[in-house]
Structure 1
Amino acid sequence: MTFSIAARDGDAWGVAVASKFLAVGSVVPRVVPGTAAVASQAMARVAYLDELERALSDGHPVAAALADAVAADPGGDHRQVGVVGRDGAASYTGPSCLHWAGGRSGSDDTGSWAIQGNILTGPEVVEAMEDAWRAAAGQRLDDRLLAVLLAGDEAGGDARGRQSAALLVRCPGAGYDGGGVLADLRVDDHPDAPREIARLHRLSTLFFGTAEDVEPLTGPLREEVRGLLTQQGHAPGGEDDVETALEAWMGEENLENRHSPNGIDARVLEVLRAAPAG
């Protein structure tokens, strides 16, 4: 009833998942940077999340940790699990998981991944997901996992349809206030959950990302920004107040993470240009 990827790329660890199931993000993922990324699904055993995190934290190899967890579970034949640790990745699909069910895992110089799904339209779903993982090498992990999730959905995804999705990615020092969260997004009930999670991710990246592609506030651009701020009710008080007015407007719009003393962030400028006159 679900397709997912658990992965690591450098110091970033994450899980992306979609399903015809209510609030899949409340059941499937666990991400502990430096230790584990786990996706527990099918007839999900939520206890696997704690068990595998503990085993990997204690230094057990990924394959052995997963094998031990499944062997100790009387319902193991009905489970599906993907797990990534410091030494690689593994994916398990119990023989009683509903057709089509299967997975792929691996490691290379771009990271480690475990991709799995059950009640899928066919093996082409996990194949497309693995192809997307490789094609997105070099991108930030949250972007990379989102590309994988959308590729799986476009290849057929859950045979029963769409309902929920989640994207959880952590990396030390990343995200809002350096708290270590690149993405923590859930769509619990939506007819096109994968694309809704992509929309939320675009907003999350905008609001919680930091300044990039900064353009100096000089010449015609300075005058354009002055006029746009005036339309928003933040008219600069003088020639030297454009920066002050811009910072005040950005604070009202929750864009303060993208403030730069050297000019205006390209995405902030895009939002300012698109904003209706106040």
Structure 2
Amino acid sequence: MTYSLIARVPETGEIGIAVASRFFACGAIVPHIGPRSAVATQAFVNPMWGIEGLSRLEDGEAGKDVLSDFVMRDGGQHIRQCHALDMHGNFTAHTGEDCVDWCGHLTGAEHSVAGNMLTGPDVVRATFDAYASADDLPFPDRLLHAMRAGEASGGDKRGRQAAGLKIHRGEAYATLDLRADDHADPLAELARLLDVARERYVHVAKTFATTRDFSGSTDREPIDAAIEAEDAGRRAAGMASQSNATENEAF
């Protein structure tokens, strides 16, 4: 019922998961990301593969050992699908033999793709190859570009409904977490939300506290300057805001 992409950027430590499905709010249940590892649990979803899996991966266990243990313990492993990135930088995946056809996965050195209930194997292959060939794009755009390639190759054979994009940068919290839970064109909606995030949110996110810096940055001037520069650039390019935010005239 879903296809998803896990990727890491070794140079920055960023880890991201993108997911799309004809299933409501897939972005809420599929992606699990920590500071150094990630899990995408899907098909007949078992959330514990994500919750327990991420905890064990963050403790240093190899992804292949964690998934092997889950397959052994889970009586429903034949209808589960999962892929994961461990803290050692290795990708691994499981596609149960009774996942709805077409189903399968591909793993590489820096990203993996898995999907089920798809129109065919071209969806996974197109997503995998599109990510690999788009290293000139910013990370979130690269993830969405790859997901669009999968959709163009057929995507979920039932249609479209939801999508999610989640990115961590070496911390337990996400620096970007976007979802379209019920939308006619969810990947396009994620692209709109990403554009809105770049107006202000991403500039604030750069100042967030970290495990090494509990206070983060508390200086508003660089944030205001970055937002002003962003606004100026958009005006110069004739780009209208895509935000649906409203103004309170009494404020």
Is the counterpart of residue 38 in structure 1 residue 39 in structure 2?
yes
* Residue 257 of structure 1: aligned partner: 223
- CA deviations 1:163-213 (Å, max 9, x no partner) are 00000001148xxxxx964420010101111111111111112322349xx
- Give structure 1 stretches of 5+ with no counterpart: 174-178, 212-250
Please say which of residues 198-207 and 132-141 is displaced more in the overlay. Answer: 132-141
Closer, same or farther: CA 20–275 of 1 in aligned 2, 3 Å: closer
Instruction: In structure 2, give the amino acid aligned to 1:75.
Output: G
User: Using the alignment, how far apart are the partners of 2:240 and 2:93 within structure 1?
Assistant: 46
* Residue 202 of structure 1: aligned partner: 195
* Residue 70 of structure 1: aligned partner: 71
| Preserved contact between residue 34 and residue 173 of structure 2 (Cα < 8 Å) | no
Closer, same or farther: CA 90–208 of 1 in aligned 2, 3 Å: same
| Preserved contact between residue 31 and residue 37 of structure 1 (Cα < 8 Å) | yes
- Give structure 2 stretches of 5+ with no counterpart: 205-219, 242-251
User: Using the alignment, how far apart are the partners of 2:133 and 2:175 within structure 1?
Assistant: 20
Closer, same or farther: CA 33–125 of 1 in aligned 2, 3 Å: same
Structure scoring higher RCO (CA < 8 A, sep ≥ 6) equals: 2
Closer, same or farther: CA 190–66 of 1 in aligned 2, 3 Å: same
| Preserved contact between residue 3 and residue 18 of structure 1 (Cα < 8 Å) | yes
Pairing 1:81-120 to 2, within 5 Å after superposition: 81-87=82-88, 88-107=90-109, 112-120=110-118
Instruction: In structure 2, give the amino acid aligned to 1:93.
Output: T
Please say which of residues 71-80 and 54-63 is displaced more in the overlay. Answer: 54-63
Pairing 1:124-135 to 2, within 5 Å after superposition: 124-135=122-133
Q: SS in structure 2 opposite 1:55?
A: helix
* Residue 9 of structure 2: aligned partner: 9
User: Using the alignment, how far apart are the partners of 1:146 and 1:198 within structure 2?
Assistant: 7
Q: Percent identity?
A: 35
Closer, same or farther: CA 258–123 of 1 in aligned 2, 3 Å: farther
Closer, same or farther: CA 200–44 of 1 in aligned 2, 3 Å: same
| Preserved contact between residue 142 and residue 182 of structure 1 (Cα < 8 Å) | no
Q: CA deviation at 1:275?
A: 6.2
Closer, same or farther: CA 155–275 of 1 in aligned 2, 3 Å: closer
| Preserved contact between residue 208 and residue 257 of structure 1 (Cα < 8 Å) | no
- CA deviations 1:153-172 (Å, max 9, x no partner) are 11110000000000000114
Pairing 1:150-229 to 2, within 5 Å after superposition: 150-172=148-170, 181-210=174-203
What TM-score, normalized to structure 2? 0.80
User: Using the alignment, how far apart are the partners of 1:121 and 1:16 within structure 2?
Assistant: 19
Q: CA deviation at 1:150?
A: 1.2
* Residue 140 of structure 1: aligned partner: 138
Instruction: In structure 2, give the amino acid aligned to 1:121.
Output: T
| Total equivalences in the alignment | 222
Instruction: In structure 2, give the amino acid aligned to 1:150.
Output: R
Q: SS in structure 1 opposite 2:5?
A: strand
* Residue 51 of structure 1: aligned partner: 52
Closer, same or farther: CA 2–269 of 1 in aligned 2, 3 Å: same
User: Using the alignment, how far apart are the partners of 2:194 and 2:6 within structure 1?
Assistant: 18
Q: SS in structure 2 opposite 1:144?
A: helix
Closer, same or farther: CA 180–77 of 1 in aligned 2, 3 Å: closer
Please say which of residues 157-166 and 61-70 is displaced more in the overlay. Answer: 61-70
- CA deviations 1:31-88 (Å, max 9, x no partner) are 1022x21110000100111221122122211111111112110000000001011221
* Residue 61 of structure 1: aligned partner: 62
The structure with the largest alpha-carbon Rg is: 1
User: Using the alignment, how far apart are the partners of 1:158 and 1:51 within structure 2?
Assistant: 27
* Residue 25 of structure 2: aligned partner: 23
| Preserved contact between residue 14 and residue 169 of structure 2 (Cα < 8 Å) | yes
RMSD: 2.6
User: Using the alignment, how far apart are the partners of 2:19 and 2:62 within structure 1?
Assistant: 24
| Preserved contact between residue 25 and residue 188 of structure 1 (Cα < 8 Å) | yes
What TM-score, normalized to structure 1? 0.73
